[in-house]
Each structure stands twice: as structure tokens, then as C-alpha cells.
Amino acid sequence: MELVATYGLNFAYSTATLGLIVLGLAVVFGLLGVMNMAHGEFVMLGAYSALMVQQAGLPYVLAIPLALFVCGAFGWLIEWSVIRHLYRRPFDTFLATWGIAILMRKGVEVTFGREYQSIDQSLPGTVEFFGIDYPAYRLVLMALIVALFAGLFVWYQRSNTGARIKAMVENPELAAAVGIDTARLSRATFIAGVATAGLAGVLLAPLVRVEPYMGLDYLLNSFFILVVGGLGTLEGLLTGSGIIGGADVVISAIFDKTAGYLGVLTISILFLWLRPDGIFSRR
Amino acid sequence: MSGAPLLSVENLSGGYGEIVVVNGFSLDLAGGEVACVTGRNGVGKSTLVRLVTGSLKPSSGRVVFRGRDLTAAPAHGRARQGMGYAPQEGVVFDNLTVAENLTLHHKDRSLERYGDLFTAFPRLSERLTQRAGTLSGGEKKILSFCRALAEDTVLVILDEPTEGVQPENIALMAEAIRRGKETGRAFLIVEQNLSLVEAVADAAYLLDHGECVYSTTERDGLRARLSERLQL
């Protein structure tokens, strides 16, 4: 029973954290069509924001507004200088953001060094849950992610801004013709997407190694999830996170971490081959 | 026409890349007037509308609306100045509800501004929570027509509004256009249905190969004259 509870919680944790990580890419790639290869680097910027707050001796919670500001400002700069010229040219966004990702990694490496950094947990200890002792921070993190997704889902479905984003994604010419400033809305959406990646970095920083190249793993997993789940829907994002996270947890537990990676990669290839639009798709 | 026109299209030319589709089109339209542009398929009617609404950038010429030169203004800027537009294709947002289609471009979500139109087209008001993608082609056209006629538009641009619409609803559209005229709105309508043109037009323009080959403000026998020239 304890084993089932442990695997169940690990599966839930894995799904929730993967969902949080991929959320920003789902917004930027799924809605705007920008293949943001710098997505992982925005997660990394969020994690380094947490490091800066820790080094300054400030309360950890301040890392959240700092990360949102840093990622939002970088996002604005990148969108204004590069991305806005490349909308509806996905391969060009792939190349451009790949270059930006290299610059961001090298910039952080020059500023903070190449070595691993560790972030202290602001909520150490364990809590008894379903008969097992489970890390308190992980439980709080899962609750936060569920609340974030629920809030975002309601906002996207019910707000006028959510309707405008859907309209812009479906038919940008008509959206502009009815009075929606699509350039401004695209910019705001891009900034929201990369800021979400930064938020993921802050929240996950105490649980992962923080180093300039940490974003690469997140980028690959994020694309795998979108391949499996499909683009443009929250259901697809959560299902993809569940399948990729679940496969990784189960296969890694039975064999080892390398087998887990291999399993995830195999599933993604099968989906690309047999169901290229993923399980859920806006199309 | 008395006073400054609401819309002036001056020697407008444009197209797609190197291909010039509309060549030197001019038109003046005052509040309370309806101008109809007609012509065979592929002569540049929809391109003309896209040049006026800002969906396409002209290669030369000017678009002056409410006394302001909007030639370089983006489409959303023109819409915010009071230019309503119902395109020929891709007329609604399929993934949004009917109500969202009607309100997403307004600050508030009030549907009161559509009260008269809901009276004319009651099926629309019965389907407010339905996704627009589930409507029939004709119903989508009516939804697009109503959105363009929201009360804060002063110029309504309609591209083939009657395509796929049932005859009884075309008559209701003509009635709505006439009511709009009475409130001082101007209409620029691209239409091949000469019955509608005859019913509402104050001025008619015949387009061929991107150029205006005939224009008239004479209403008597308008349909016959346009029909004759279309067959030449």
C-alpha cells in the first residue's frame, strides 16, 4: 500500500512539475507558433533569480516577482527585437531562439560560473500523507501548480482577453479587422509564456541542480510532452505531462534512469509517426 | 454629397507582391450613403476591401476616414475608428461562442447593442452560447453581418454578405442596411447579388481587372444596367 502511495505521489509530482515546465512553451509554441528553443533557458533564469535572492539573504518568496520581472523583461526584449518579425515562420523562430538560448547560457555562465549551485529549501521536512512521509515542499508545490492551472483555465475560458487570444490564434487577419491589436496581444502572450517558464524555474530550483545548461533537459521534455499531448489545449498539456512523467517514473523505477529516458523517447517517436497531432489538438 | 466625405478612397492601388490586383480605384462616401462594388469573380473586389480595411497595404493611393489619413494605419486602428468589417471568407471565429464573437472587441460584454439585430435575426440570439463553428454557412454570414453593424461603427464594409444566405434573410439584411443608413452610417458593400445592390445602393461601381469601368448614382434601372455591363 505504501509503495502504491509513493509511486502515486511521485507520478502526481512528476505530472504537475512537467505540466508547469511545459506550460510556458505550450503558450508560446502552441498559441503563437514560435518554436522557442530558449524555453529551458527561461526556466534557468528563474532558477538563478532564486539563487540571487538566496545569496542576498532575502526571503525566498521574493524570487517569484524577481523571476517574473527578469523573464518578462528578457521576453519583451527578445519579442521586440527578433520574434515579432518571425511570426508564422516557425523554422526561422527555431533558428533564432536556438541562437538566443546559446547567448543566454553563456551569459549566465560568465556571470555565475559553470559550477552547480544549490538552493536551500524554504519548506524543509516531511508530512505524513496517505500513510507515508512525503517531502512538504513537493506537496505544497503540487497544490500551487493545481491552483495555478485551475486559475489559468478559468481565466482563459471566461475572460475577454482569453477570447481575444483564441480569436487571434484562429484568424489573425479577422482579429485585427475587428479591432484587436494582434501585435500587442502577441507580445503580451509571449511575455506571459516566458514569465511562466521563469516561475517554473523559481519553484523547482530547490529540487534540482541549478547550472547554466539545466534548461536543455527541460526543453526536450517540454517538446516531448507537446508531441504526445498535442498543441493548443490544456487537456493535451496535462495528458502529455501525465504520459511522459508517468512513463519516466515507472520505467525508471523498474529499470534505471537511462531506460526511463529511452522509454520517453520511444513514446515520442511513436506519436510523431502514428499520431503527429498528438492526443488532443486544436486543429 | 454635402460636406466632407466620411470615407475617401483616392487612386488606390495594390495587390499581392508584384501582382497589382486593384489599380487606381477612387470613391467618396458620406454618412448615410451606401456604395456597392460589383463585378465578376476575381476582378479585385475583395482585394479592394482588404486595402480599405488595412488587411493589405496599398502600393499607392490614400484612404482617408473621418478626415484622417489612415493609409498607413493598421487594421485594428481603422476598426477602432469605427470601421466595421464582415469579410467574404473566414467570417467568424469558429472556436468562440456566438456571444464571444459579438463582444470580444468591446470593452464590455453587453449584447444590448445588438438588440435590433437580434429582433431581425432571432435565431442568432437563441444560439449565443453555441460555438460559432457549429453554425451553418448562412448563419455565420449573418453573425458576421451583425458584428459589423454594432452600434459604434460609422462605416460598415461588407464583402459578399449574402453569399449562402436564405432569400428571406437577405431581405432582412437589406432592411437592416436601410435602418443603418437612417442613423447616418455609411456602407461599402461588395456584392454580386444585384437584387441587394438595387435595393440599397446610392452609388454603384463596376470593377473589371482591378479598375472601375463604370460608376453611377442613378438608381432607376440600376440592376438592368449593371447586369448588361456584367455580360459584356
A95 or B105, which is more confident:
A95
pLDDT confidence of residue B1: 55
Instruction: With cut-offs at 50, 70 and 90, classify the pLDDT of residue A282.
Output: low
- Comparing CA positions, the residue from A205, A208, A191, A222 lying closest to residue A48 is A205
**Is residue B219 within 8 angstroms of chain A, CB to CB?**
no
Is B217 part of a structural domain of the chain? yes
pLDDT confidence of residue A221: 86
The pLDDT tens digits for A154-181 are 999 889 899 999 999 999 999 999 999 9
Could B100 and A163 be called an inter-chain contact, meaning their C-beta atoms sit closer than 8 Å? yes
**Is residue B47 within 8 angstroms of chain A, CB to CB?**
no
Amino acid at B61: G
Half-sphere exposure of A37 (CA within 13 A, CB side): 15
Q: Pairing mode, if any, of strands B34-38 and B203-208?
A: parallel
**Is residue A166 within 8 angstroms of chain B, CB to CB?**
yes
Cell of A34: 514560435
Is B70 part of a structural domain of the chain? yes
CATH number at residue B183: 3.40.50.300
Is A273 part of a structural domain of the chain? no
Cell of A137: 515542499
Q: Any alpha helices (H) in chain B, and if so which ranges? A: 45-53, 75-80, 98-103, 115-120, 122-126, 137-148, 167-182, 194-200, 222-230
Cell of A194: 516566458
Is B225 part of a structural domain of the chain? yes
Distance between CA B124 and CA B92 in Å, rounded?
A: 13
- For the cut 90, the answer to whether the pLDDT of residue B224 exceeds it is no
Whole-structure pTM value: 0.87
Q: What percent of chain A has pLDDT over 90?
A: 71
Is B2 part of a structural domain of the chain? no
Closest partner CB to B93 (pick from A174, A179, A282): A174
CB-CB neighbors (< 8 A) of B105 in chain A: 164, 178-180
Residues A15 and A172 sit within 8 Å (Cβ to Cβ): no
3-state secondary structure of A32: coil
Could B104 and A183 be called an inter-chain contact, meaning their C-beta atoms sit closer than 8 Å? no
Half-sphere exposure of B224 (CA within 13 A, CB side): 4
Could A166 and B96 be called an inter-chain contact, meaning their C-beta atoms sit closer than 8 Å? yes
Distance between CA B218 and CA B221 in Å, rounded?
A: 8
Direct distance between the N- and C-terminal alpha carbons of chain A, in angstroms, rounded to an integer: 42
- Residue A169: CB atoms within 10 A of its CB come to 21
Q: What is the DSSP letter of B74?
A: -
pLDDT confidence of residue B3: 63
Q: What mean pLDDT do residues B68-86 have?
A: 93
Is A143 part of a structural domain of the chain? yes
Residues in B 85-104 with any Cβ partner in A closer than 8 A: 85, 87, 90-91, 93-96, 100, 103-104
- Comparing CA positions, the residue from A14, A43, A3, A32 lying closest to residue A196 is A43
Distance between CA B69 and CA B58 in Å, rounded?
A: 13
- For the cut 70, the answer to whether the pLDDT of residue B2 exceeds it is no
Range of the domain at B112: 7-230
The pLDDT tens digits for B8-55 are 999 999 999 889 999 999 999 999 999 999 998 889 999 999 999 999
- Residue B21: CB atoms within 10 A of its CB come to 20
Closest partner CB to B79 (pick from A166, A170, A177): A177
B80 or B231, which is more confident:
B80
- Rounded to the nearest integer, the mean pLDDT of chain A is 92
Range of the domain at A133: 2-117+127-209
pLDDT confidence of residue B221: 83
| Min Cα separation B94/chain A (Å) | 8
- For the cut 90, the answer to whether the pLDDT of residue A3 exceeds it is no
**Is residue A181 within 8 angstroms of chain B, CB to CB?**
yes
The pLDDT tens digits for B159-184 are 999 998 998 999 999 999 999 999 99
pLDDT confidence of residue B11: 94
- Rounded to the nearest integer, the mean pLDDT of chain B is 90
CB-CB neighbors (< 8 A) of A171 in chain B: 90, 93
Is A137 part of a structural domain of the chain? yes
Q: How many domains does chain A have?
A: 1
Is A222 part of a structural domain of the chain? no
- A-chain residue closest to B97, CA distance: A163
pLDDT confidence of residue A121: 80
**Is residue A176 within 8 angstroms of chain B, CB to CB?**
yes
Could B75 and A170 be called an inter-chain contact, meaning their C-beta atoms sit closer than 8 Å? no
Could B55 and A178 be called an inter-chain contact, meaning their C-beta atoms sit closer than 8 Å? no
Distance between CA A92 and CA A98 in Å, rounded?
A: 10
Could A182 and B53 be called an inter-chain contact, meaning their C-beta atoms sit closer than 8 Å? no
Is A188 part of a structural domain of the chain? yes
Is A229 part of a structural domain of the chain? no
CB-CB neighbors (< 8 A) of A176 in chain B: 54-55, 74-76, 79
The pLDDT tens digits for A52-89 are 999 999 999 999 999 999 999 999 999 999 999 999 89
| Min Cα separation A241/chain B (Å) | 24
What is the predicted ipTM? 0.89
Q: What is the DSSP letter of A125?
A: S
- B-chain residue closest to A161, CA distance: B104
**Cβ-proximal residues to A89 (8 Å cutoff; 6+ apart), any chain:** none
Instruction: With cut-offs at 50, 70 and 90, classify the pLDDT of residue A130.
Output: confident
Is B178 part of a structural domain of the chain? yes
Distance between CA A87 and CA A34 in Å, rounded?
A: 7
Q: How many domains does chain B have?
A: 1
> H/E element holding B83?
strand B83-86
3-state secondary structure of A164: helix
A203 or A8, which is more confident:
A203
Distances in Å between the Cα of B38 and the Cα atoms of B43, B45, B139, B215 are 9, 7, 23, 10
Could A176 and B76 be called an inter-chain contact, meaning their C-beta atoms sit closer than 8 Å? yes
CB-CB neighbors (< 8 A) of A173 in chain B: 55, 75, 87, 90
pLDDT confidence of residue A87: 92
Is A217 part of a structural domain of the chain? no
**Is residue B109 within 8 angstroms of chain A, CB to CB?**
yes
- B-chain residue closest to A170, CA distance: B93
Could B105 and A178 be called an inter-chain contact, meaning their C-beta atoms sit closer than 8 Å? yes
Distance between CA A219 and CA A104 in Å, rounded?
A: 14
